[in-house]
Amino acid sequence: MDESTGQYTGEVTAGGPAQTRELKGLTITKVSVGGPYDNNAYLLRSTATGDALLIDAANDADRLLEVIGDAPVRTIITTHQHPDHWQALAEVAEATGARTVAHPADAGGLPIPVTDPVEDGGTVTVGDLTLEAIHLVGHTPGSIALLYQDPDGHSHLFTGDCLFPGGPGNTQKDPARFASLLDGLEEKVFGRLPDDTWVYPGHGKDTTLGAERPHLAEWRQRGW
C-alpha cells in the first residue's frame, strides 16, 4: 500500500518503497527495481500456502531478495526476452532455487535455461492459485501476459511490455509486428476480459482495460 494513504495505487519509483495489494487468497507486491528503464517486478504470494512466485527478475537482485524476504519463491516467470527484464534472473533463481518459466519462443534469449516452458493458454501455479499465460506476439516473438482471476470474479493481468497506460508496447515501427500485437490484444485481452480488469505492466503505472478500451481504434490508426 501507499504509506501515505494506506491504499494500493500501483505507483512505485526506483529505490522507493514497494506497494502491496491484498486480494482474497493472494498478495501482490509491486516494486520498481531501477536500471535504465525502471522496471517493475511483482511478487505474488498465496495466502493459503505461503508459496510465492516472482514475475520478471528485472534488475537489482539484492532489492528483489529483500522484498522476497522469507517467502518461498518456487517460480520465476520472465514475460519476455529483453535484457531489462532478466538482469537479476540468474542470481535470484540461484538464491531461491526457483524453477524458471517463459514462452519457448523467447527462452533462448534468457541467461539461464527455462525449466518450465509455457505456451498460450498454459498455466503456472503459485501455491493453490493458478495463472494463465496469454501469448501476445509483436513486442517479442514469445511475450506473455499472465492472468489471475480472483475468487470474487475480478481479473488481474500482468502484461510485461505488451500493454501500458496509453497503448501497446514498442514494436519498433514495424507494421506487421504492431498489427500482430494489437490483434492479439483485441482478441485475447480486450475481447475476453471486462473493463474492471486491473493491468500491471512491466514499467510505470497500472491501468485498467476500461481506461484503455476507448482508445483501441486510435492506437490502430496511429500505428504504434
pTM: 0.97
146-199: pLDDT as tens digits: 999 999 999 999 999 999 999 999 999 999 999 999 999 999 999 999 999 999
Cell of 182: 494489437
CA–CA gap between residue 204 and residue 218 (Å, rounded)? 21
Distance CA 76, CA 207 (A): 23
Question: How confident is the model over 41-58, as a mean pLDDT?
Answer: 98
Domains and CATH numbers, the chain: 19-222 (3.60.15.10)
Percent of residues, the chain, with pLDDT higher than 90: 95
Q: Pseudo-torsion of CA 27, 31, 33, 39, nearest 10°? A: 90
Q: How far apart are CA 223 and CA 217, in angstroms?
A: 10
Residues 11-30: tens digit of each pLDDT: 999 989 999 999 999 999 99
Q: How far is CA 203 from CA 30, 38, 112, in A?
A: 11, 6, 23
CB atoms closer than 10 angstroms to residue 48: 10
pLDDT given at position 124: 98
